[in-house]
Structures are given as structure tokens and as C-alpha cells.
Amino acid sequence: MARKAVMEKAVSTNLPFAYRHYDAGQLKEVLRKMYLIRRFEEGAEDCYMRGLIHGTMHLSIGQEASAMGICMPLAEDDQITSTHRGHGHCIAKGAEVGKMFAEFFGKTTGYCKGRGGSMHIADVAKGNLGANGIVAGGIPIAVGAALSAKRLKTGKVVVSFFGDGANNEGAFHEALNMASIWKLPVVFVCENNGYGMSTSTDRSTAVRNIADRAAAYAMPGIIVNGNIFSDVAEASHAAVERARAGEGPTLIESKTYRYRGHSKSDRNRYRTKEEIEDWMSNRDPIALFEAELKEFGIIDGEGIEAVREVVRQEIAEAIEFAKASPSPDIRDLQDYVYTELA
Amino acid sequence: MDAMLRELSYAQAIQEAMAIAMEADERVFLMGEDIGVYGGAFQVTGDLVERFGADRVMDTPISELGGAGVAVGAAMTGLRPIFEFQFSDFATLALEQIVNQAAKMRFMLGGEVSVPLVMRFPAGSGTGAAAQHSQSLEAWLGHVPGLKVIQPATPYDAKGMLLAAIADPDPVMIFEHKLLYKMKGPVPEGYYTVPIGKADIRREGRDLTVVATSIMVHKALEAAQALEAEGIDIEVVDLRTVRPMDKRTIIDSVKKTSRLLCVYEAVKTLGVGAEVSAMIAESEAFDFLDAPIVRLGGAETPIPYNPELEKATVPQVPDIVAAARDLVKGVR
């Protein structure tokens, strides 16, 4: 082997997973989508503050690397179930932000035609079977989707996103057990942001790591730093490959942090400003990813600025699309309760 | 043997419907606790596992919530599950998935998915199984838009309505009274459906309309025979479907007879009979009423263990006879 090739191999094997596995174009696209998630949520928050969006919403700002890293190995027809904090999952799985904003505005052009809102955002065509307003509600549904994949031999893998709060629901335990005994192609992803609403995992959960629960269901339990894109992607690739090979489920615990409160009613009394600021200034997933991209020569400051500008425009257009879209007709109130028979 | 004269039990009729559906459609499969080699707590699935294998007659762990959720997810993604609850009471463990997920999924997602799911609930008292294995919870689920809730009363309807439920694109909840499982009746061979949402007039009469559900249909018919000897001619309407309710058939019957008695096993307060009564009070049939509407329902108590107490908890034939007689004679 030529000396140069040996050197290159040595260098490349020392690189983190994502920089060995993805090309520069893919990595730049990851950055764009992480920005898209963040700016989407900032835009949604702004619209909410200005009274353009009603109800409530649960923002995942600070968790972007987790959503993107997990979705990287998924094919378009692979499926996910998501949570009340699901905007990032939706975008990471390929949703259009215009249709998402339209849903938040309650418009007919929204993903759920204005019937679901933030908490039920879905994009079935892209494999997102829906966010869910019930903690742990989507976990058994993901197992059911994985049962379909196995029975119908579609080769699909299903990812079930949930938060740390869900790990103390019975549905979590029942679903993991069934996925394991039936060896179903499903990946359980616990995005542990430290708090179930106001209750910290220390106070709510008997085990130190939620991934420790995996042992009870005879599946691998993997802990990753959820703010480092490459680490999340690496764990997801391994789990998705294992699922696709018919070897059964994996539980990934992606340790991360949400900057915003649980929902719009949160006064942030259960954590300190210092704690939040520490995460924002020292462990921000986008900042960490940008630093790596620069370090490995994939993008420079100017390139990053260009990505931000593209996203800024996309978000502005998406909000305009939502504003200009029609509201549902009140006469259509009963639509979609039952399947309309031809 | 004439196909129409063939008699099957209610349980056999359900089993036959499931077998026909599974034979015709690979996507149809059964899930539940001990429905495989055990054959189900009431032997409804019987030996189907030998015919279709453990993948399609699938024993679940004792995990009603998770199991129901798996069925919802499977139904959303291309399969057609039939989920058996061992006892309808155990629906309480799975209400989250039934009420929040199965019923609302299509609506919440703006029509982007359907949930073609069938859930079977062995229900009712009379088996000495006491308070946690004897309830009639159909009104609970009947309160939820997005669900269809049926209560077939005969083997013929059990097979035909189950086949209709399996073909239905939306979640259908079937409440099967446990005391009906052994009841025999004519059941045609092969595929046929009995429509969901259509009541059936089991006996025509001129003096009083009795709207009955499930096992109470048979008790009402028995009462009708006793009353006939007294010269009282009652019409017995088998509601068959709790949601969507067949208002037209009931309204037309009450307009004809001018009297209404509702008979159901579930606790009287806020039960199906309350809905039927209110519906008639709001309808054009109200002006035709010659007497107050009367409900005969279950006592305001959990189902007791003692057999005499248990019997006293739910309407019996003499109760129906007495209530009907009073109504027709103007005592009420």
C-alpha cells in the first residue's frame, strides 16, 4: 500500500463516524436541516407570541442533533412515531415546513388539514405516523407498524421517538417487551432532556440511565450524547441495521436538553438560569456541529452564513404560505371522523 | 342439509367469520391473550391456531394497553387485526389506545390514515365472575366519535356483523355477551354481512316498542310471549349497533306503538337506554307518546358474586313483563 494511502486511512479512521460515513454534501444538508428545525421552532414561537397561532406547543430547541442523527439511516419509506415535542422529528424525516406552519395556523393546507395542530403533526407520505399528545402513546403503535413491516415483508424499519417521561409509562414497558419477544424491526429512541415537564429523571426514574431498562427486555441499550450529531447517527445506524437484519429492537438513550420550557405555560421554576445558559453556551448541538464541520474543512464561515440565509428565506416563505392558506369550512367539521365510503 | 337450517353456536359463528376472513385476506390476523393453543378463555378462537398458525393467531403477553397499541399501529400500516380482550372489563387497561389513538387517529391526521381494527369484548354478567369480569361497558366506548360499537344478539348477526366489521375501514368494537356464546341459531355457510348501524325488528307489535340490546333481546322476546297471553302485543327492536345508532327504525316504531321501553344490562344511569330515550324525546316521535318513556337497566351497583344478588342486578324477564304491562295499561 502506498504511503499516502496508509496515511489517509489512518486519518480517516480517526475521524468521527459521520465524517467517514457521509460526504460533504450530506453533511451540509444536515446542517441546513438542523437550522431549519431551529428556525422553524423560533418562527412558530414568534407567531404564537404574536397571537397568530393558538393553543400550545412544545419546542425541541436544543435537541436538533438528536432528531437529525436518528433519522439519517432511515429510508423515505421507513417509519417513525413521534411525540408532543415532535417538530424536529417531522422535519428530519423530510416534511415541508410550509405545510407544517399551515397546520399550526389551522389551515386546510396543513399536514392534518388543520385538525391536528402541533401535537398531532404527521407526514404519512414521508413515513411520519404522527406526533402524539399522550406520553408513550406512540410506542406500542410503532411496534404495531414494525409488526406490519415484518408480516408484509416490506423491509421497513420503524423508529419510535419518546421522551424521558415516557419511560415510566406502562406502555413503554409493554411495547419493549413485545418488540423483543417478536424480534420486530423497531428502534426505540428515548430523547432524555432531563425533565418530564418539571420532574427531573433523578426524581422520577429508579435507574440511572434509561438505557439500563433495555436489559430487562433483552435488547441492547445504547447511551449517546444527543447533542453530538455524529454520535447519534452512529448509534442509529447500528440499531437500524440490526433491526433491518431481523435481529430485533434496540433502545437508544439520547441525552440532550431543551432550552425552552415544557410548553407555553412553563415558568421554569424547576431548573436554574445557569443550568440553561450552560447548555446553550457550551453544548449547543448546532454550534458543536459547525465547529466540527469547520475543523474537518467541510464548510467555512461564509458557507455557514449562506446556509443560514437559505433557511431564513425558506421559513419566511413557509409562514407566508401558511398565512395565505384557507381555513377549513365549518360545514366540514365532521370530516375524517370516519372513513368516507364511496 | 339446507345451509339455512344449519345451526351454530354464537361462539362458533364468530369463529367461522374469523376463519372466512383470514382465508380470504392474508392481512387479517388475530391477537389476544391465550387465543392460541388454549383456544381463548371462551373457546371462541378454538383450534384456529392449528389452521392458520401462531403468526396469525397470535398470543400476546398479558399487556392489554401495549397489545391494543400494537393492533392500532398494525391497522394503520396495512394489516387488519382482530384483537380479543379476554374480558371486556380489561378494556379499562387499554382505554388510552382505544379512545385517544384508534378512535381519533384518522381525524387528527386529517384523513391521511384509516384504522381498520376490530376489537372483541366478551361482556356481561351471569357467570359468577363477580365485579371485575362481568361489566357491560358498551356505553363508555359508544360515547367516542371515531369508534363504531356493536352488540350482536344472535349467531346469525354475530357472524354477519363481524364480517362487516372486518371489512370496515374504521375501528369497530364488538360487545359479545358471554351467556350468548353457547346459544345456537341458524347461520348460513360462506360469506355474508349484516350491516353496522341498522337495528332489526325482531317481533312486530302494536302496543309498545321495546328497544333491547344483546342478551336483553332474548329476554324481551320471552316477555313478549308471556304478554301475548294477556292480550298485550309488543314490538321488540334489537338495537344491534350502539354507534352509529339507527334512529329511524326506533322513531318509526315508537310512532306506531306510542310507547317506549328500553331494556339493557349495563348500569341504567347514562347507559344506552338513556341515549335512546333522549333521542326519542327530541324526535318527531315525541308527539306520538301516550306514556312516559321507561328504562330498565342494571342496578346502580357493581356486579355481586352471590348468584341471587347477581341475577337481581340486571333486568330479568318478569321485570320486563311487569314494566311493559304497566306502560300499556297506563299505570306509568
Question: Per-domain residue ranges for chain B?
Answer: 3-186, 200-328
List the catalytic residue out of B64, B138, B275, B310: B64
Query: What is the tens place of the pLDDT at every residue in A153-209?
Result: 999 999 999 999 999 999 999 999 999 999 999 999 999 999 999 999 999 999 999
Among partner residues A140, A154, A336, which is closest to B110 by beta-carbon distance? A336
| CA A99 to mean position of chain CA atoms | 17
Q: Which CATH superfamily is domain A23-260+274-322 in?
A: Thiamin diphosphate (ThDP)-binding fold, Pyr/PP domains (3.40.50.970)
φ/ψ of B185, rounded to 5, equals -165, 165
Region B200-328: CATH code:
3.40.50.920
Confidence of residue A235 (pLDDT cuts 50, 70, 90): very high
Angle at A52 between CA A33 and CA A324, to 5 degrees: 75
Within 8 A of B74 by CB-CB distance, chain A residues are 144-145, 147-148, 151
Interface of A with B in 109-128 (CB under 8 A): 110-116, 120, 122, 124-125
Instruction: Spell out a b/e string for A294-318, using b for 16 or more CB atoms within 10 Å of the CB, else e.
Output: eeeebbeeebbeebeeebeebbeeb
Domain locations in chain A as residue ranges? 23-260+274-322
Confidence grade of residue A50 (pLDDT, cut at 50, 70, 90)? very high
Please say if the pLDDT value at position A8 is more than 70. no
Q: At what angle do helices A24-49 and A301-324 cross, to 10 degrees?
A: 40
* B174 DSSP β-pair partners: B120, B150
Cα distance between residue B134 and residue B123, in whole Å: 6
The answer to whether residue A1 scores a pLDDT higher than 50 is no
Which residues in chain A have their CB less than 8 angstroms from residue B68's CB?
Answer: 140
Which H or E run contains B121?
Answer: strand B118-123
Residue A196's φ and ψ, nearest 5 degrees, are -95, 100
Cell of residue A303, nine digits: 458557507
Asked if residue B212 lies in contact with residue B264, where contact means CB atoms within 8 angstroms, the answer is yes
pLDDT (average), residues A107-127: 97
Residue numbers of chain B with a pLDDT score lower than 50? 1
Overall size of chain B counted in residues: 332
Task: Identify which has the larger pLDDT, B72 or A266.
Answer: B72
Chain B residue whose CA is closest to A78: B77
| Same CATH fold assignment for domains B3-186 and B200-328 | yes
Q: Nearest by CB to B145, which of A122, A174, A337?
A: A337
Cα distance between residue A72 and residue A31, in whole Å: 12
Extract the C-alpha cell encoding B320: 320486563
Kindly report the average pLDDT of chain A as a whole number: 95
Residue A340, pLDDT above cutoff 90: no
pLDDT at A3 (0 to 100): 52
In this prediction, residue B240 carries a pLDDT of 98
Looking at residue A265, what is its pLDDT?
Answer: 86
- Provide the ipTM: 0.96
* B28: helix, strand or coil: strand
**Helices marked H in A17-136:** 17-21, 24-49, 64-71, 87-92, 97-104
Helix, strand, coil shares of chain A, percent, nearest 5, are 50, 10, 40
pLDDT, average across residues A242-249:
98
Give the residue among A178, A172, A245 at the shortest CA–CA distance from A218.
A178
- Residue B71 CA to residue A313 CA, distance in Å, equals 42
pLDDT band at A9 (very low <50, low <70, confident <90, very high): low
So what's the pLDDT on residue B3?
55
Q: What distance in Å separates the CA atoms of residue A313 and residue A62, rounded to the nearest whole number? A: 21
The Cα-based distances of B99 to A165, B43, B75, B85 in angstroms read 21, 27, 15, 15
pLDDT digits (tens, 9 = 90+) for B251-291: 999 999 999 999 999 999 999 999 999 999 999 999 999 99
Q: Side-chain half-sphere of A4: how many Cα atoms within 13 Å?
A: 0
Minimal C-alpha gap between A158 and chain B (Å): 11
Q: What is the DSSP letter of A123?
A: B
Just give the CATH number of B3-186: 3.40.50.970
Task: Please say whether the beta carbons of B143 and B273 come within 8 A.
Answer: no
**Cα separation of B309 and A139, whole Å?**
43
Min Cα separation A272/chain B (Å): 35
Bridge partners (DSSP) of residue A196 are A199
Q: How far is B14 from chain A (nearest CA, A)?
A: 24
Share of chain A above pLDDT 70, in %: 96
Do B61 and A341 make contact, defined as CB atoms within 8 angstroms? no
Chain B contact present for A221, CB below 8 A: no
What is each CA distance from B226 to A288, B230, B233, in whole angstroms? 84, 7, 10
Selection from A146, A91, A306, A137 nearest residue B103 by Cα: A137
